[in-house]
């Protein structure tokens, strides 16, 4: 690594913005000119799963609107600690059963997922891994050794998915160390990165990250996670354009969320806004039934109706596939 790159990687701007994220609900409400009384009853939810949201993402929220769709994705609410329906559990997609080595999961043929870190730039309240034991199941522990050994022994795995947490929370140096190891496994031909960073902290897509991506030998697929058109602005557009500029294929997966994007006009606007940002809609996920997120659930019948309305309004390439992840199934289940 060059001396210049090493200095840049030491304290890049995105890391300062990441460290400056808001973690106090009272501060978030104050920044949005909302009544401080709204924080009453949040303590238990905050203790179970802490608030974290970058200030740039907050800037896209509407001040004074307690129902803002971006705010509702991150604000701890008392409903999270209320009695949950029995299907809402800690591990709704059965990650534990799919673990081949610490942090290495395989559910589907030909591809495996690395839990690269437990950290995220933003804590989404509906996160299906909000109860995941990251301390015990992190592929980065032991310098990736057990996970890489497992991958080396299975030549049928041709695609590695970097997930988390959010893998782009890792520094360029740590990402490069991982992919240097993967370079020694020629059967790994595709590297897929599941990340919310280009949307919630677009400054992460900087020169150092782009240099890392440019040097990879695998095909690169970046799967973003945007749920609402208001999440996109000029900075997000620039980040997406930069990723496309180094040859990455950009897809988006959304989660269907009550009171956030469960309207046809919202989903249609999201698909159009994604296309403006050079991103293709990929999946629209039914909510994974994780404990604490039952208030986000949308009935299957309504979900199917929404997608049918999207089909009437959009070309086929802008209509995401409505799916659910069902433990034990060989693929995502279309609804």
Binding-site residues for [4Fe-4S] cluster, in ranges, read 120, 124, 127
Please enumerate, by residue number, every residue annotated as part of a binding site. Answer: 120, 124, 127
DSSP 51: -
Give residue 269's Cα distance to chain centre: 20
CB 325 within 8 A of CB 115: no
CB 214 within 8 A of CB 248: no
Tally the residues of the chain. 335
Strands 159-163 and 249-255: unpaired
Write phi, then psi, for 261 (nearest 5 degrees): -140, 25
Angle at 245 (CA atoms; ends 240, 248), nearest 5 degrees: 70
Contacts made by residues 42-49, CB under 8 angstroms, sequence distance 24+:
42/75, 42/76, 42/77, 42/78, 44/78, 44/80, 44/81, 45/76, 45/77, 45/78, 45/80, 45/81, 45/292, 46/76, 48/80, 48/81, 48/292, 49/76, 49/80, 49/123, 49/125, 49/127, 49/130, 49/292
Q: Is 121 helix (H, G, I), strand (E, B) or coil?
A: coil
């Amino acid at each position: 690594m060059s001396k210049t790159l090493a200095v840049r990687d030491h304290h890049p701007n995105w890391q300062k913005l990441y460290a400056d994220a808001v973690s106090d609900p009272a501060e978030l409400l104050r920044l949005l000119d909302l009544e401080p009384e709204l924080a009453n009853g949040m303590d238990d939810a905050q203790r179970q799963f802490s608030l974290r949201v970058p200030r740039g993402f907050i800037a896209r929220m509407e001040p004074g609107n307690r129902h803002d769709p971006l705010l509702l994705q991150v604000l701890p609410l008392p409903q999270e600690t209320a009695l949950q329906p029995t299907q809402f559990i800690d591990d709704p997609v059965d990650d534990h059963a799919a673990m081949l080595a610490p942090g290495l999961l395989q559910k589907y043929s030909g591809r495996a997922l690395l839990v690269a870190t437990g950290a995220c730039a933003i804590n989404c309240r509906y996160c299906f891994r909000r109860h995941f034991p990251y301390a015990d199941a992190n592929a980065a522990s032991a310098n990736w050794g057990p996970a890489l050994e497992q991958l080396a022994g299975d030549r049928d795995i041709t695609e590695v998915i970097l997930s988390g947490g959010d893998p782009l929370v890792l520094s360029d140096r740590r990402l490069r160390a991982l992919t240097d190891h993967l370079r020694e496994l020629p059967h790994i031909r595709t590297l897929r990165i599941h990340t919310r960073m280009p949307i919630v902290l677009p400054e992460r897509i900087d020169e150092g990250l782009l240099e890392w991506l440019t040097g990879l030998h695998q095909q690169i697929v970046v799967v973003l996670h945007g749920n609402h058109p208001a999440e996109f602005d000029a900075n997000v557009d620039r980040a997406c354009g930069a990723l496309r500029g180094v040859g990455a294929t950009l897809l988006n997966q959304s989660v269907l969320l009550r009171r956030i994007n469960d309207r046809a006009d919202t989903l249609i606007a999201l698909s159009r806004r994604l296309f403006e940002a050079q991103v293709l809609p990929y999946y629209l996920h039914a909510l994974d039934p994780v404990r604490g997120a039952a208030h986000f659930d949308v009935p299957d019948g309504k979900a199917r109706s929404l997608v049918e309305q999207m089909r009437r309004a959009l070309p086929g390439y802008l209509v995401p596939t409505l799916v659910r992840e069902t433990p034990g199934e060989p693929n995502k289940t279309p609804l």
